[in-house]
Structure 1
Amino acid sequence: MAETVVITGASAGIGRATARLYGGRGADVVLLARGRAGLEAAAQEVRALGGRPLVRITDTADAGQVEAAADAAEQVFGPIDVWINCAFSSVFAPFDEITAEEYDRVTQVTYLGFVNGTRAALRRMLPRDRGTVVQVGSALGERSVPLQSAYCGAKHAINGFTSALRTELLHRGSHVRVTVVQMPAVNTPQFSWVRSRLPRHPQPVPPVYQPEVAARGVVHAADHPRRKQYYLGGSTAATIWANRFFPALLDRYLARSGYDSQQTDLRPPSGVSNLFEPADRAEGADHGAHGIFDDRAHDRSLEAALARHPLGVSSALAAAAGAAATAKAVLGRRSRTSGA
């Protein structure tokens, strides 16, 4: 019997690439997002790969819409086996240049959208005592950077919410699982449609991975949800461990480098941002899974492959510890040189 999988943010980026993988497995894939053009294109891909798609135009910030989408999923395909929360929005700007309305919107989508999705999933999974929820997290949920305060705050909140939920499920002795996949920089369309007040075009900070690498990590986490979280990419593990041991040094380093490293030499995007409405509504175009950084994005991750094996986890953590020590030495030298 085919799996029933619900994916939020399925019209582009990681969600879109994940939908393709499940389509290739012959799954019943419920595609949630606001943009019809992207969702319809994703549905065609799922169908061509051997899966059965169901498109639901859904704003995950609206709990009622999410609940209605969950009802539709089970009416068409039966019990939901996996729910993947991936939808998000963001604003690239210094905190004091982000309006209260914009901050609310980022928080509602990027944090409360995950809460709404998780609630809808658990309402159906808990009575059956089975099912898996996967939260698509970020290294920025552990180590914040400048110019993305709203996004970083929301991703931190997801980690805290999920940790609390996990302890409640353990208390109940529930067989419902919840796990987080902490992502590195990924080449998605967000950098071309995000709301930005930067003087130049936003970019992911290298190393950058293709959405397919992230999608493989999501599917693996859904298949093996007993671990509370997965780190995708050596940069993610190194960043998280370095932040735990040397947070003050990273603060100084990011204060100096974090503005330029998140911008290209290109002019800022001139299209409509997707903060309050989907980008494809105005343009009527499908943006696909990839962004504009294919020339620098990696299509595989050694660390992600290692993490799929128990011995690989130890190796990855050892590498992360070594990278953290190197980061301390480098940042220390730079601090002494600059007199910071």
Structure 2
Amino acid sequence: MRKHEVAVITGASAGVGRAAAREFARRGVHLGLIARHREALEATKTDIEAYGVKALVCEADVARSDQVEAAASAIERDLGPIDIWVNNAMVTIVSPIKQLQPDEVKQVTEVTYLGAVNGTLAALRRMLPRDRGTIVQVGSALSYRAIPLQAPYCGAKFAIRGFTDSLRSELLHDRSRIHVTMVQLPALNTPQFDWCKTRMPRKPRPVPPIFQPEIAARAIVWAARHRRRELFVGSSTVKAILANKIAPGLLDRVLGRKGYDAQQSDEPAGPDRIDNLWDTVRKGHDAHGRFDGEAKSNSSELWLTTHRAWMGAAALATLVLAHIASRSRR
């Protein structure tokens, strides 16, 4: 009998993927690490091997289904059957739609959306015969509420949510024990804002409030271990989704008025800016971006949503005690 779990993380070289790898490693999970930049993956591997787990580096482009399939085969051969698959890889471009080029939209879609599809299919090929396993889709508040300047990315996240809902229904139809979940994230302090392609005059930035990637990592690991359909991380995620349900037209106007400036810092982008839309960048691979001074390290909303049973028990106990106290005063 195996004494360890095996998880796969795409986009494991930096940002949320690197933070999630560390969080899984703390819990004794062996890891298959997939991304385009081998040196950065090796750095992630060094990080997590300090926790006494095994890791396998797989340099692959998630937009290529053959490369994802080859990576999955190598991971199972070296580490054992895959228990958890986390689809996290993404790219984006910050640009008005009227300035987008078709090949740019195609690239964001293929990496962000089809990358998740390719990862899901590779996971299912291995999990279905065993009738066990968990697939975690890393989503965003933007999978419910799109914002200006990131139309291709928002479209890809919407598509992942639709694909995942279809898959979930099919697994229920087949009475499969495979669990699929989606973690909807808030704005995070990751390096993507230093790497993403932009046509705006000032450097891209996340829309506040900003959270550290370790919060996302904890949410991903929790979602992988609990049969929750969807997990919303951060009060800003919940507010954006609720606001879009209640007053989408008003939100359109607010974002039209404030959404451009909110996604740009005060620093000029500069003509020599490098980006990772077509190829990986060669520096700055870490979990954190440049917004440590603004980012929150805790999320009360995440704590509450992952402790619902405790909260319910506490509320019930309070009611019981109140009832006993009222009876004793009679």
Please report the TM-score for the alignment, with normalisation by the length of structure 1: 0.89
Q: Which residue number in structure 2 is paired with residue 56 of structure 1? A: 58
Residue 200 of structure 1: which of 195, 199, 202 is its match?
202
Equivalences, count: 309
Query: Post-superposition, which runs of at least 4 consecutive aligned residues in structure 1 deviate over 2 A?
Result: 311-314
Residue 289 of structure 1: which of 283, 287, 301 is its match?
287
**Secondary structure, counterpart of 1:42 in structure 2:** helix
**Secondary structure, counterpart of 1:84 in structure 2:** strand
Q: Which residue number in structure 2 is paired with residue 10 of structure 1? A: 12
Q: Distance in 2 between matches of 1:271 and 1:289?
A: 20
Q: By how many angstroms is 1:125 displaced? A: 0.2
Q: Distance in 1 between matches of 2:192 and 2:126?
A: 31
**Secondary structure, counterpart of 1:300 in structure 2:** coil
Q: By how many angstroms is 1:312 displaced? A: 7.7
Q: Which residue number in structure 2 is paired with residue 162 of structure 1? A: 164
Matched, 1:175 2:153: no
Matched, 1:98 2:80: no
Q: Which residue number in structure 1 is paired with residue 221 of structure 2? A: 219
Q: Which residue number in structure 2 is paired with residue 306 of structure 1? A: 304
Q: Which residue number in structure 1 is paired with residue 323 of structure 2? A: none
CA deviation vs aligned residue, 1:210-232 (integer Å, no higher than 9, x gap): 000110000000000x2210000
Q: Which residue number in structure 1 is paired with residue 268 of structure 2? A: 267
CA contact under 8 A between 2:191 and 2:284: conserved in structure 1?
Answer: no
Q: Distance in 2 between matches of 1:301 and 1:34?
A: 31
CA contact under 8 A between 1:6 and 1:84: conserved in structure 2?
Answer: yes
Q: Which residue number in structure 2 is paired with residue 237 of structure 1? A: 238
Q: Which residue number in structure 2 is paired with residue 253 of structure 1? A: 254
Q: Distance in 2 between matches of 1:299 and 1:17?
A: 13
Q: Distance in 1 between matches of 2:38 and 2:48?
A: 15
Q: Which residue number in structure 2 is paired with residue 21 of structure 1? A: 23
**Secondary structure, counterpart of 2:19 in structure 1:** helix
Gaps of 5+ in 2: 313-330
Gaps of 5+ in 1: 315-340
Q: Distance in 2 between matches of 1:198 and 1:36?
A: 30
Q: Distance in 2 between matches of 1:313 and 1:15?
A: 30
Relative to structure 1, is the Cα distance of residues 256 and 142 closer, same or farther in structure 2, using a 3 angstrom cutoff? same
Largest Rg, 1 or 2: 2
Q: By how many angstroms is 1:51 displaced? A: 1.4
Relative to structure 1, is the Cα distance of residues 155 and 14 closer, same or farther in structure 2, using a 3 angstrom cutoff? same
Please report the TM-score for the alignment, with normalisation by the length of structure 2: 0.92
Moved more, 18-27 or 116-125: 18-27
Please tell me the residue identity of whatever aligns with 1:162.
T
Matched, 1:114 2:116: yes
CA contact under 8 A between 2:54 and 2:79: conserved in structure 1?
Answer: no
Q: Calculate the aligned-residue CA RMSD, in Å.
A: 1.2
Matched, 1:184 2:186: yes
Q: By how many angstroms is 1:116 displaced? A: 0.2
Q: Distance in 1 between matches of 2:273 and 2:41?
A: 20
**Secondary structure, counterpart of 1:277 in structure 2:** coil
Please tell me the residue identity of whatever aligns with 2:4.
A
